[in-house]
Amino acid sequence: MRGPAVTAALALLLLSGCGGSDGDRNARVVATIASQSKRCADGSFHRLGSLRLAYAAVVRSRAPVLYRPGGRRLASFGRRNVNRVPTVFSIRGAIVDANCNPRSYLVQVPKRPNGVTGWVAAAKVDVETVRTRILVDLSERRVTLYKDGRKLLSAQAAVGASATPTPTGRFYVNQRLIPSDPQGPFGPGAVGISAFSEVLTGWTQGGPIAIHGTNAPWSIGKAVSNGCIRLRNPVLRRVFAQALGGTPVVIRD
């Protein structure tokens, strides 16, 4: 994250889907929930996701997100976000009927405060499976990418400076963007995550955080950014190719 007009320098890339039909993917959710219990009690809550498998909710048309099922509205999201890419939530759990079919999903959304969750009706979203996850260790200034629970790569990164620290917490990949200039400050790509700077609140779109490339390779391994995580461009290309929408991202001190 280099300046207020972060997204102005970016061309857009549509979310890459995961394999299988909508019916197949939703069937996987039902099967996962059913495997957790011999039977489902109508209205019961079941957590979803593990170190090997996560679930993403892709908005079909328009999706109100509620503070609690049947409660007041937290926010409403359209099919595409402000960058005109598909709107994606991270699924954390589901309320189901007696046949283990989800009625509502507990989702994390790309909105302040960081890590905020709410409820979205299952009929408002399609479900994607995700087998990647990302760990960002700020003290080691290192990004590690996992797939199916196995480490794919681990690389040094630049992180936020003391005045503009990278926020910590549990987030997810909510968009992927391609810069109009691959030789510019974002390198060949930016993996947007559902976190926002805690200090740069007046920036465009509220100061979104991303993992991106750089035209300043000297900065790798240092705490110098405005909150984003920079990787060397060859490494960023590998992360970009694997980090589909909904990929869990943990940032720790």
- DSSP for 76-143, written as a single string: EEESB-TTSSB-EEEEEEEEE-TTS-EEEEEEE-S-TTTT-EEEEEGGGEEEEEE-EEEEEETTTTEE
Q: Name the region of 99 (left: φ>0; alpha: ψ -120 to 50; beta: rest).
A: alpha
Catalytic residue check, 212: yes
State both tokens at 96. Answer: 């189901």
Catalytic residue check, 228: yes
The catalytically annotated residue of 40, 46, 100, 228 is: 228
Largest CA distance in the chain: 57
Give dist(CA 111, CA 194) in Å, integer.
Answer: 7
The catalytically annotated residue of 40, 46, 100, 212 is: 212
State both tokens at 57. Answer: 């909710």
Give dist(CA 119, CA 47) in Å, integer.
Answer: 13
Strand partners, 2: none
Q: Are 90 and 246 in contact (CB under 8 A)?
A: yes
Give the H or E element holding residue 241.
helix 233-242
Catalytic residues: 212, 228
